[in-house]
Structure 1
Amino acid sequence: MKIIALVCALFVFSFASDFSATASLDVKSCAYSEQNKTLPVYDTKNSLNILNKKDLKTINKFDFKTDEITSLAFDHANLYAGFAGGEIAKFNDDFSSFAGMLNLSNLSLDTQITHLHVANGKIYAVAGKDAFISYDLASKKLTRANLDGAYHIATCQILSDAALITSWDRSVFSVNLSTMKAKNLGRLKSVALSAAEISSGVIFGLASGEIASLKFDAGENLTNKKLASKQTGTTNLDTEANLTQTNGKDNSSSNLTAVKNAQNKADLNLTSGTTNAILMNSTNLETKNSASTETKAAPNLIVQIYKISNSRVKSLLVVQDKVYVGLGNGEILRSDAEFKQIEKIGKNSDAVIKIFNDEDSVIAVSINGEIQIYKKKS
């Protein structure tokens, strides 16, 4: 894949695009390391290009013939790749080679590796359609949680002690990372296409152009508390999924009250509390404004739905108290954590599937291979 670096003078508000690159093939997966300023991009021709962020030129390239990469992730400067065949590999420091670390192909399940995440000496990933795995690099211990009822995993957000996982049927699951106990928490009003952790909880970018914000509360525990509401549909909110436990003790300290997220009563029937709708000014993404907001409240639930756009929310990035939003129409927005001040900082030519942080800039990668680097507000 030929990558051409261009210098742009595009200014949107007080932001600027420093560099752009456009590939001829769609992007299947990508990642970024702030530590070594490298951007690996895997395309539909099964080629992996390791790019230098400074000029978006290729450092190294790999062509895969027999197996394909299905997920990429950095742990600081270390690059990991998950493959369709169930293998997880680690690249060496100069990205000249890679070696397998874990192979799940001997398990009796579809083992395609997606949603790869490596941190604190552990590898987390989704294997196949409905299995969440944790692998300890030191002890070589592999544990697995089955997300029963999940229909193909859409997002997976790793927190300090828990994972929040959504599927394409809108279901939301939590997994305690200490015990690998899983719970089905309910359903979103729309499919989640992206997720990010914020200081007070987790946000999900929805296909409806909305953002669902789930608030944390130190008084409640996501991984071992039942919810004070019941479901009117088919998903059992209180039933724990079938899984393999590593021990019988729950050491989780990830406390969340916002664990059921749906906007209408067709999804959830709250047994107590009130439902309040707060409608603010219509959002104009070309100027600073606030999003249309709907609040769902109950004793064990704090969920807010923000209408951001009519386009799908394909990617999210949280940097301190700011949220960057990548849309299906190629727009990149910047907002405060409460979505009261929203700005359009730029626009790519196609859906923005990933936004990465890098000191004084953000990197927006589109599905068509376009890469734009925008300066943050000065």
Structure 2
Amino acid sequence: MKTEKQQRFQKPQAVATRGSHLGSGLSDGIVKTQTSVTCHEFTCDVPEVQLVYANYFDFDSPGPNPINVKASIEYPIGSGFRYEVFFHGGKREIEIAPGADVESRSIPLNAKAKTKCLVFSCATVPEGGKFPRGQVAYSNRGEGLKNGDIVDSGTPDTQGQYVYHPVAIIGRPKEPTPAVLIVGDSIASGAQDNPQDRGFIPLALGNEIPWIRISKGNESVYGFAGAACRFRMRLAKYCTHAIIHSGTNDFVQKNLAQYQNDLIALLQSLSDYGLKNFVCTIPPRTVSKTDMSPVNPAFALNGDVMKANAWLLSNPRPDLIAGIFDTSRVLRNPERLAEWDPVVLGGDGIHPGSAGHTRMAAQIDKSMIQI
């Protein structure tokens, strides 16, 4: 049990689900004001929370213009009461410059573990301006959007679209709890799962471990460096652990030695933030769902991808790798290891479907992710 002083001075960390990089492009340049409603679940008891908002998108491109943000939180869901969110200087609305992010002031929710909240996020841009978008808002989670300001009253009228939302919900948990940074590619981002913005890592973590996802479609280990992660890496400070799923895009262009060097550089960078790293093995990649030929020699039987997985499973750098999750093993055809098990494959030769994400989630050992 932490003392009151320890609680007060510990650094804020992720305390809820569905913190996420704004990785789904920009709005249409026509809508000037839009409020999104997103659902998040608290994974621990936390007396106060803060929202983190940002103005960058995709592979860490600054937004094309400043955006103004106003927000509230409905907690508990169904109460009808919305906590006003204030920013620096007691402002209800804050301007966020291109490439910047901001933390709100603390909001005294006294949130309890395994309860949910709705966050109302209103983004306003100048004439012809655009705002970044990330998660999909689904009505079955109480989510949605409306072109207008409904932060303090009103309801959404549209759903199923990419929306603007907080990149993190942070606070100081009453008891020590881990928080996971999800790093990697489209599979880590939930591609072809159902719902498509879930994915195997959030499925595995459930409502027990909070997370922030900074993965992106087409991401590679070598691509997640320098300017391409200059903004997303700021979110690492809100986490204690990282789970990395990458490699399938690396071996389209790179060889084994290059992948090994690039992965070690990535792990070192995350470790420098104080994170304990877990790495997932690399899945098959075939020409299509119906043509199970490996997309190139690296993905063939005993090719560079299988050699990379053997290297990972040996844990070559225990100083940088806390553990390996062998997620690719449950995706492969046991009789033809370079191919997918047809049961788990999605709509192409690159991504697992929902059955594959479910199998992969079972390979994540949550007992290893501890403070």
Global fold match (TM > 0.5)? no
Relative to the length of structure 2, the TM-score reads: 0.25
Structure number with greater CO (CA < 8 Å, separation at least 6) is 2
**Where is the strand percentage greater, Structure 1 or Structure 2?**
1
**Where is the helix percentage greater, Structure 1 or Structure 2?**
2
Relative to the length of structure 1, the TM-score reads: 0.24
